[in-house]
Amino acid sequence: MKPNENETANLLAILEKTTNSRDPKSLFLRIETFICIGRNQDALDCIKKESLVLEKDVERLLPLHIELLLAFQDYDGAYEAVKHYAELPYVNQAVEEMLKEYPTKIRKIEKKTFAKTQPDTTTLKRQLTQKDPASVLIALQTVAHLGYQPFIKEIKAVLSSDLNDYVRTFALLVLVDGKYMEEVKFSKNGIDFTVVPENLDPPFEGPDFDDFIHALQTHGEDPSILSIAEEIFRQYVMAIYPEEALGTADDLLIEALILLAHRYLAADIDLKKVSKRSGFPSQKIEALAQIIDEMTQKTPKIDI
């Protein structure tokens, strides 16, 4: 219910009173007040800015954060937030129950939203046969939520098309996520693949992926560097999938990603110092960074 004039005045007074406060009690009060007066973006910004303080009370923070993300229909962000809170060491039974329940709740809300806005099957099939990569990618994202079964002919056509490799790889991932049980042919980076999607591991999940991301995020670099490094890594994974990105040289891969992130931001980096600290020859770090750069340039992410 929308607050009346007097209630709104009181809520605004609370915001004014807590403007410079950074203790958990005041911060939670600010967030809840922002929500009461419909300023959800301000509430979400406060959570992002003060996460280290607020995470001292995960039981109170978790539902606030997830429900805000759901209000913005940021379902990917909600899933990532659940994963983040699950990794925190100081959770109690109430938090554990929420962490178990939220993925199912998010998926139900997500499907319900897409069901209201989905194009009809005929329209989606037509979109999947277009030549514009962004349009095909949008259609594939919708199909990923609806289920691939009515569109298998069109998805296979995308796999064998001359569209951007990023789009064709996404088409393969739709079948991987749907556990499609028949062989499909897929050519990429000069390699001809014959694969059964059901037998392929999804690229952005599993313990190996989670361990790598954790190692990257705790490398000790500036957060902006780490954010760019992670984005480059995800693009690299898409560029070489269904080949594996992780293996026996993960530590070297991290150093190469950090190097590329510094260069992306035009930030100085002492490669000799990095080499001495990591134990990897600078030539090896440079060589892998060049490979990653070439692959990601060849298969650029499509923004839609």
> Where along the chain do its domains lie?
5-115, 118-199, 207-298
Span 28-42, pLDDT tens digits: 999 999 999 889 999
Q: What are phi and psi of 206, to 5 degrees?
A: 105, 160
Query: Of 1-10, 36-45, 104-113, which one has max mean pLDDT?
Result: 36-45
Residue-wise pLDDT tens digits, 90-110 = 778 899 999 999 999 998 888
The CATH number corresponding to 118-199 among 3.30.1540, 3.40.50, 1.10.1060, 3.30.1790 equals 3.30.1790
Domain 5-115 has CATH 1.20.1250: no
CATH topology of domain 207-298: Cyclin A; domain 1 (1.10.472)
- The model carries a pTM of 0.64
For residue 209, CA distances in Å to 65, 171, 172, 216, 278 come to 24, 21, 19, 11, 21
Q: What is the DSSP letter of 243?
A: S
Cβ atoms of residues 30 and 45 within 8 Å: no
